[in-house]
Amino acid sequence: MNIVRQNPHKILSDAVEYGNLVFLAGQVATDLGQDINGQTRQVLKTIDEVLAKAGTDKSKILSANIWLTDIRNRDSMNVEWLAWVDPANLPARATVEAKLADPKMLVEIAVIAAK
């Protein structure tokens, strides 16, 4: 099987496709002036774009890992998540509090999807 790496950067690729699986790198907002809701919407939009490039979509997400800089933002992040996620195809998910690479980043999300 071939391995396809989407948009490789210096230290990572945006996504890696292997067989019928797509592994996304952690996605963060580009406009860090947004609140948790705005940053979450940006991240989810990016996830949609990366999945589409791999020929799949959010209905095929198997697993999601979410990192929040403040776990008290979980409810606000979940408002955006629930508006976006396919309710008929909910993935396994973990949400934890963690420091992120930039103090202005509030959320990072990585997913694994089927094709």
Would you say the pTM of this structure is higher than 0.75?
yes
CA distance 95 to 106: 13
Radius of gyration of the chain (CA): 14
| Distant-in-sequence, close-in-space partners of 20: CB < 8 Å, separation ≥ 6 | 114, 115
Residue that the structure tokens 């890992």 belong to: 65
List, for residues 59-115, the tens digit of each pLDDT value: 999 999 999 999 999 999 999 999 999 999 999 999 999 999 999 999 999 999 999
pLDDT at residue 21, rounded to an integer: 98
